[in-house]
Amino acid sequence: MPGARRAGVIVLTLALVLLASQLRVIGVQGRMVLGWAWQDGQVAFTNSVTGRPVRIQFSLRRPFSEFRMITDPDTEGYYTGGEYRINDQLKHEYTRQLDYCSEVGMQLNIGAKEWTISQKCMTIRALWPLG
C-alpha cells in the first residue's frame, strides 16, 4: 500500500501543479480577480472622437495576448491614420498590463464576470503567473 499511496500523492501533486499553471490572477481597479488561461476578456467603450463603439478582445493565455479590435472603419482609421489594418498589428502583441481611458466609461468582461468602470481610466494587471 505505501507504493499506491505514494503514486496517489504524485498524481495529486501533478494535478495541482497543472491546475495552478492554468490559473490567472488579475488585478482590476484594486481588486483581485481569478480567471483561467482558456478564458477571454474584453473592454468595450465609445470612442470620444468618432462617437462609435469599440471592443478590444484579448485572451488570458500569455498573459494578455491575441488582441482583436472590433469597430467601424472610421474609428479604426482614427487609431491608425489609415496606414495599416489594426488587427494585423494587435494579434502579435502581448503584455502584463492594460491601460484604457475613456471619457464615458468602459465595460470590462473577463470570462463570465462583468464590470462597469465609471472612472476615466482603468488598469488591468496580470499578477499570476509571474514572468
The pTM assigned to this predicted structure is: 0.82
Average pLDDT value for residue range 61-73:
93
Average pLDDT value for residue range 117-124:
86
pLDDT at residue 40, as a whole number: 93
Q: How many Å apart are CA 128 and CA 131, to the nearest integer?
A: 8
Q: Map out the domains of the chain as residue ranges.
A: 2-128
pLDDT at residue 131, as a whole number: 60
pLDDT at residue 62, as a whole number: 82
Q: Average pLDDT over the chain, rounded to whole?
A: 88
pLDDT of 1 above 60:
no
In which order are the strands placed within the sheet that holds 94-95? 94-95, 64-70, 53-59, 40-46, 106-110, 113-117
Peptide bond into 129 cis (omega under 30): yes
pLDDT-derived band at 90, boundaries 50, 70, 90: very high
